[in-house]
């Protein structure tokens, strides 16, 4: 069978489509949400809401997609309109990748991804608009995760100036 041609999404349907993508994410159907976001971006390539929803949908699938999914999500961050959103979602990608690797990778690998997330969230905190504490909440959640797992520490050879970053497949 030959490849099917996708049907374009009318621009007027974007708001309802974005709401539907969010519902699919909440129903734990990230692939469907991802597909809708791609349709929205086909109609409006710079739609910030669809970019955010796509990053979230991709990060929902990290356990299945692995490093390729992380790289795809990271590639979308630069397209976000605000520096705050770029920092926040870069942190979210690191945090969600680390959580997807819990129990699969050595603790020092998880530690590095979580500390990268903290650095991104810290940058986002400095850029947060008044009344928005999303980055603060995410920073605290990530810090609590590290505090609850004292086995998650860096190894001396992983630090700058050591023998090399042993982060085990750092995507991106």
pTM for the model stands at 0.88
Q: How far apart are CA 100 and CA 32, in angstroms?
A: 20
Q: How confident is the model at residue 172 (pLDDT cuts 50, 70, 90)?
A: very low
Phi, psi torsion values for 164, nearest 5 degrees? 150, 150
Give the chain's radius of gyration (CA, Å).
18
Give the 3-state secondary structure of 119-153: HHHHHHHHHCCCCCCHHHHHHHHHHHHHHHCCCCC
Q: Convert the pLDDT of each residue in 102-152 to its tens digit.
A: 989 888 889 999 999 999 999 999 999 999 999 999 999 999 999 999 888
> Beta-strand (E) ranges in 32-155?
none
- 């690191």: which residue's tokens? 94
- List the chain domain ranges: 1-79, 82-163
Q: How far apart are CA 54 and CA 57, in angstroms?
A: 5
């Amino acid at each position: 069978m030959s490849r099917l041609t996708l049907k374009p999404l009318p621009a007027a349907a974007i708001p309802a489509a974005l709401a539907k993508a969010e519902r699919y994410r909440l129903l734990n159907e990230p692939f469907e949400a991802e597909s809708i976001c791609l349709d929205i971006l086909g109609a409006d390539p710079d739609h910030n809401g669809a970019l955010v929803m796509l990053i979230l949908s991709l990060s929902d699938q990290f356990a299945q997609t692995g490093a390729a999914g992380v790289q795809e999500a990271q590639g979308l961050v630069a397209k976000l309109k605000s520096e705050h959103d770029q920092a926040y979602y870069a942190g979210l990608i690191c945090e969600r990748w680390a959580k997807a690797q819990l129990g699969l990778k050595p603790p020092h690998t998880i530690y590095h991804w979580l500390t990268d997330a903290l650095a991104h969230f810290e940058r986002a905190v400095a850029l947060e608009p008044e009344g928005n504490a999303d980055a603060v909440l995410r920073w605290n959640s990530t810090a609590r995760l590290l505090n609850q797992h004292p086995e998650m520490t860096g190894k001396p050879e992983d630090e700058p100036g050591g023998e090399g970053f042993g982060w085990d497949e750092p995507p991106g």
